[in-house]
């Protein structure tokens, strides 16, 4: 199977909203008037972002999910994406499953594959995604990292830490009961991008980011962009680990590390004024996405952790850094 047959068989589909899709030198997109185009790109590398034995259907899902999560964090409506794929060989069984996982999630979000590139090489997936954000009175409704202000509440969607727990188990660093591993592994391999919540939070959230490198690390980006500090309620964050409800022998410190710096959560972390509390609840309900208040923003710089009694806790957590010396395979 050659390059062009491969594209035709697995990735070339009827054009939906794009003016021109797969098959020319460029794809052509027509954006609506009074919108801005949100663009994000992510590259997934074998041995770094996924294991060699990962199910290709799930890998297809995840490759797009992490990009949809970026759109969600900006409050952008998914529009289209390109796929660049490097593979050691054109493995038909693998491509069949990978493309199904990828396109099933794409269809669920009305996000169209409009172009790409395939080449022979180490397994690497690069997706660039496009979304639309309306502009009102000359200002876009994009959720940015830079809008948090003194007094805002800090919220996170869904669960924390379970993806990292699964990763630790797959690396043999912890042992999990089969049922617990299965559920945690679904969080690692099939993350749910919070697109509907991101759309519902337009005009409500003051700042937002998606959690890929760990809660505290990604919160740090909001703090530095917004020039504010935050206090995080450690016990509340830790309660968001679904696996914690199971009978498991991990120390308090281990649970905290999972929730605060686990990474791969792909949840939305966002801020909103206390006066918008009801609007946040309504957005959560409308998007069928649980949201929990896990802290607050203050003018004083820095990141403070407190427990349920208000006692300050040590901040010993590191964000994931792809080029740090301790960045082992993930």
Residues 100-159 touching a second copy, rule: CB under 8 A, are: 114-122, 124, 126, 128, 130-131, 133, 140, 142, 144-146
Give the pair of three-digit tokens for residue 312. 């300050």
Instruction: Choose among 55, 7, 3, 45: nearest CA to 27.
Output: 7
Q: What are the φ/ψ torsions at residue 267 (nearest 5 degrees)?
A: -100, 165
Alpha carbons 228 and 146: distance in angstroms, whole number: 9
Provide the minimum distance between the beta carbon of 126 and a second copy in the complex, in angstroms, as a whole number.
Answer: 4
Q: Where are the beta strands (DSSP E) in 30-152?
A: 35-45, 77-87, 112-120, 124-136, 139-140
What string marks each residue from 10 to 39 as x (binds a second copy by CB under 8 A) or -? ---------xx--xxxxxxxxx-x--xxxx
Report 202-221 residues binding a second copy (CB under 8 A): 208-210
Radius of gyration of the chain (CA): 20
Provide the minimum distance between the beta carbon of 115 and a second copy in the complex, in angstroms, as a whole number.
Answer: 6
Provide the minimum distance between the beta carbon of 40 and a second copy in the complex, in angstroms, as a whole number.
Answer: 4
Residue 308 interacting with a second copy (CB under 8 A): no
Choice from 59, 68, 73, 201 touching a second copy (CB under 8 A): 73
Provide the minimum distance between the beta carbon of 44 and a second copy in the complex, in angstroms, as a whole number.
Answer: 8
**Among residues 249 and 326, whose Cβ is nearest to a second copy?**
326
Q: Is 307 helix (H, G, I), strand (E, B) or coil?
A: coil
Do the Cβ atoms of 113 and 21 come closer than 8 Å?
Answer: yes
Choice from 62, 70, 163, 276 touching a second copy (CB under 8 A): 70
Do the Cβ atoms of 17 and 26 come closer than 8 Å?
Answer: no
Instruction: Choose among 145, 304, 318, 311: nearest CA to 230.
Output: 304
**Among residues 251 and 328, whose Cβ is nearest to a second copy?**
328
Residue 322 interacting with a second copy (CB under 8 A): yes
Residue 74 interacting with a second copy (CB under 8 A): yes
Report 47-66 residues binding a second copy (CB under 8 A): 47-49
């Amino acid at each position: 199977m050659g390059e062009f047959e491969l594209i035709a068989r697995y990735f070339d589909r009827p054009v939906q909203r794009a003016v021109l899709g797969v098959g020319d030198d460029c794809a052509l997109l027509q954006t609506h008037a009074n919108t801005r185009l949100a663009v994000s790109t992510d590259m997934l590398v074998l041995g770094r972002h996924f294991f060699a034995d990962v199910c290709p259907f799930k890998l297809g899902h995840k490759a797009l999910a992490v990009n949809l999560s970026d759109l969600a964090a900006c409050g952008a409506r998914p529009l289209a994406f390109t796929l660049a794929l490097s593979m050691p060989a054109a493995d038909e069984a693998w491509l069949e499953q990978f493309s199904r996982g990828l396109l099933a999630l794409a269809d669920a979000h009305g996000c169209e594959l409009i172009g790409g590139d395939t080449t022979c090489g180490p397994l690497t997936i690069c997706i660039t995604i496009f979304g639309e954000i309306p502009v009102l009175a000359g200002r876009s409704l994009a959720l940015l990292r830079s809008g948090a202000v003194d007094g805002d509440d800090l919220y996170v969607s869904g669960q924390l830490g379970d993806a990292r727990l699964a990763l630790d188990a797959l690396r043999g660093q912890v042992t999990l009961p089969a049922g617990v591993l299965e559920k945690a592994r679904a969080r690692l391999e099939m993350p749910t991008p919070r697109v509907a919540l991101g759309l519902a939070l337009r005009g409500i959230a003051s700042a937002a980011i998606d959690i890929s490198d760990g809660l505290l690390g990604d919160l740090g980006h909001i703090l530095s962009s917004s020039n504010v500090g935050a206090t995080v309620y450690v016990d509340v964050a830790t309660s968001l680990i679904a696996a914690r409800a199971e009978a498991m022998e991990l120390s308090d410190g281990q649970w905290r590390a999972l929730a605060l710096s686990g990474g791969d959560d792909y949840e939305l972390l966002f801020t909103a004024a206390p006066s918008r509390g009801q609007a946040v609840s309504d957005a959560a309900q409308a998007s069928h996405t649980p949201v929990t208040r896990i802290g607050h923003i203050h003018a004083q710089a820095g990141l403070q952790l407190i427990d349920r009694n208000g006692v300050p806790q040590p901040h010993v957590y590191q964000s994931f850094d792809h080029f740090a010396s301790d960045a082992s395979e993930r």
